[in-house]
Amino acid sequence: MKKRYGMIGLCLAAALALSACSSGGGDAADNGMAEARDEIRVSLEADPDSLCSGFASNTPSKMVSMQVFDGLIAKTAEGEYIPDLAKNWEYSEDGMDLTFELRDDVTFHNGEKMTAEDVAFSYNTIIDAQLAVATTSAMESMEVVDESHVVLHFKSVYGPGIECVAGDELVIFPKAYYEEVGMDDFMRNPVGTGAYKFVEWQSGDHITLEANENWHNGEVAIPNLTFKVYTDSATAAIALENDEIDVLPSVLQTDLSAIQSDPNLQTDTTASATVTYIFFNHEGVFSDIRLRQAVAHAIDKEAVLIAAMEGDGELTNCMYPTWLPGSDPEYGGYEYDPQKSLELLAECGYEPGELKLTFHTQENARYYKPVEVIQAQLNEAGFDVSVEKLERNAWSDLTANSDFDINLYSMTLAINDFDDNYGLFRGGQAQNYSNLDDPALNEAFDTNRTSIDEEERLAACREIVHVMYDNVDVWPIYQVNTTIGANKDLKGIEASPQGTYAVSDWSW
């Protein structure tokens, strides 16, 4: 997660810079101490769609964008909201507006001073573009109050508003420059307030950035940053082992052993933002809770995790990542018990093998590997399940048309809030492909969305977890891990659930 520490960051950056003088690569100096390295090379899994995440949502775009841009609010690795370009913020009494007091000491990379007009223009441009809708859908507009204040208007009271503001998409850029060059050129030649300034982008090969000497959070420890594009994960892993890059933000399980055994490298692993689960069509045969319970009892989650991910993950009973406030991954009750599945099928009038189902899955191994294991487990528990692999678009069309009885989804949060799945599981929503419409669940989702009381929202989130588990509205199986690999001399390496990182947190 992107970390910003204000004046604390100035002290930390200075301390890291001092420590870097006694470590890292380079030739030995006359005094016997190694010279600090002044560059870092980081892998990207693909060419970015844009260098501004307000206009693109893929991981490579976010990874570059978060170096170039800042937002009004930042978030620590511990989940605390802290000031960034805004000094403070406050909701209106009715919860419809959020007012920010802006810093007056921030300049853009082109030397222009950041103004309230720039901030409002940035927000309104990103909102109007509708390319970051997971973040901006509840926002109406932003307006200037005076030289040091802006107010963000919501369409209705929106509980996750602060989380959206602290995300990667709502970044600030200079109005005059954007209007001069236009969106297309801006996305390739960005100007922000962030720790690094854009230098060069050679599509498909590399992106070069250099330190922003006037960054409002202080001096960065590594002044030169190059992102190198490796579309093949194995090639990227070899590049890390051969010292052609210094950081591989996402290490695949197949490459993990080799990287961990290399004395010149380091790794760190954490639970990701991705949860894999079974979901049901609640207007089909699985409208009967007993059949959903039969599926729950038939699944040996550990066997699925081992077969699908070589054990690289965490078993869970929760739809949401374990680190997300409100998550309750230990909540339980349904144990692996194939005999119980047979009994429940019999209660519903089915003899073993009589209930025939087709489990549609994407051709991607991330999907079909767990599905093949689940197929075998369901068949052993009395179902008759066949598997049909579909190309991604065909699978998406089938899912969007609710043309399934049982399906599997690997869900990655777009915003770190339960509201991210409001459209999928709240009754009456266009994206509610499973036709789930539970009054208790609807109320909990609505409370989380429309309250700005954090304790009330946390209670609603736990209610969502418990209701969905008790009713087997979906059946969570595992949460994927994410691992970062890096040169052993790089300090500050800590795995992020989203797989994106602020390079300003690192030093040699």
Q: What is the DSSP string of 34-67?
A: BPPP-EEEEEESS--S-SSGGG--SHHHHHHHHH
Residue ranges of the chain that CATH labels 3.40.190.10: 1-49+194-264+488-508
The length of the chain is 508
User: What is the Cα–Cα distance from 388 to 169, expressed in whole angstroms?
Assistant: 37
Strands 39-44 and 224-229: parallel
283-286-287 Cα angle (round to 5) = 50
SS3 219: coil
User: What is the Cα–Cα distance from 237 to 43, expressed in whole angstroms?
Assistant: 9
445-430-447 Cα angle (round to 5) = 10
Measured from the Cβ of residue 110, the count of other Cβ atoms closer than 10 Å reads: 11
Write down the CATH number for the domain with range 70-193.
3.90.76.10
Phi and psi angles of residue 62, each rounded to the nearest 5 degrees, phi first? -65, -40
User: What is the Cα–Cα distance from 34 to 66, expressed in whole angstroms?
Assistant: 30
Q: For residue 234, with 0-12 CB atoms within 10 Å meaning exposed, 13-18 middle and 19 or more buried, which class applies? A: exposed
Tens of pLDDT, residues 391-419 = 989 999 999 999 999 999 998 998 999 99
Tens of pLDDT, residues 233-264 = 999 999 999 999 999 999 998 899 999 999 99
- Determine what percent of the chain is predicted with pLDDT higher than 90: 86
Distance from the first to the final alpha carbon of the chain: 20
Residue 26's pLDDT band (cuts 50, 70, 90):
very low
Residue 132 has pLDDT above 70, yes or no: yes
Strands 247-248 and 224-229: unpaired
pLDDT at residue 49, rounded to an integer: 93
Residue 262 token pair: 């290399």
Averaged pLDDT for residues 290-313: 95
Measured from the Cβ of residue 65, the count of other Cβ atoms closer than 10 Å reads: 25
Residue 458 has pLDDT above 80, yes or no: yes
Residue 346 token pair: 């019999």
> Which DSSP string corresponds to 276-331?
EEEEE-TTTGGGSHHHHHHHHHH--HHHHHHHHHTT-EEE-SSSS-TTSTT--TT-
> Which DSSP string corresponds to 261-277?
T-TTEEEEEEEEEEEEE
Residue 205 token pair: 């090969």
pLDDT at residue 24, rounded to an integer: 39
pLDDT at residue 262, rounded to an integer: 98
Prediction pTM value: 0.87
In the predicted model, what is the mean pLDDT of the chain? 92
Q: Using alpha carbons, select from 189, 77, 69, 159 the residue that is nearest to residue 123.
A: 69
Biggest CA-to-CA distance, the chain: 85
Residue 29's pLDDT band (cuts 50, 70, 90):
very low
Write down the CATH number for the domain with range 272-480.
3.10.105.10
Q: 44 in the Ramachandran plot: left (φ > 0), alpha (ψ -120 to 50) or beta? A: beta
Averaged pLDDT for residues 310-320: 93
Higher-confidence position of 72 and 308:
72
- CB within 8 Å of 447: residues ≥ 6 apart: 456, 457, 459, 460
34-39-45 Cα angle (round to 5) = 135
Return the CATH fold of 1-49+194-264+488-508. D-Maltodextrin-Binding Protein; domain 2 (3.40.190)
Residue 36's pLDDT band (cuts 50, 70, 90):
confident
Of all helices (H) and strands (E), which one includes residue 291? helix 289-298
Averaged pLDDT for residues 415-434: 94
SS3 98: strand
Residue 7 has pLDDT above 50, yes or no: no
pLDDT at residue 129, rounded to an integer: 96
Tens of pLDDT, residues 85-104 = 999 999 999 999 999 999 99
Residue 77's pLDDT band (cuts 50, 70, 90):
confident
> Which residue is listed with tokens 């869900």?
411
Residue 35's pLDDT band (cuts 50, 70, 90):
low
Q: How many helices (H) and strands (E) does the chain have?
A: 16, 17
DSSP state of 69: -
Residue 213 has pLDDT above 70, yes or no: yes
- Determine what percent of the chain is predicted with pLDDT higher than 70: 93
Averaged pLDDT for residues 280-298: 97
Residue ranges of the chain that CATH labels 3.10.105.10: 272-480
User: What is the Cα–Cα distance from 276 to 285, expressed in whole angstroms?
Assistant: 22
Q: Is the dihedral of CA 229, 235, 241, 247 positive or negative?
A: positive
Residue 123 token pair: 């927000």
Residue 366's pLDDT band (cuts 50, 70, 90):
confident
Q: Which of 68-72, 118-122, 365-369 has the lowest mean pLDDT?
A: 365-369
Q: Is the dihedral of CA 422, 428, 431, 437 positive or negative?
A: positive
CA distances from 161 to 139, 412, 431 (A): 8, 19, 21
CA distances from 376 to 84, 295, 336 (A): 51, 12, 14
User: What is the Cα–Cα distance from 30 to 293, expressed in whole angstroms?
Assistant: 72
Residue ranges of the chain that CATH labels 3.90.76.10: 70-193
SS3 360: strand
* b/e sequence 281-296, b meaning 16+ C-beta within 10 Å: bbebbbeeeebbbbbb
Tens of pLDDT, residues 47-75 = 999 999 999 868 999 999 999 999 999 99
> Which DSSP string corresponds to 141-176?
EEEEEETTEEEEEESS--TTHHHHHTSSS-----HH
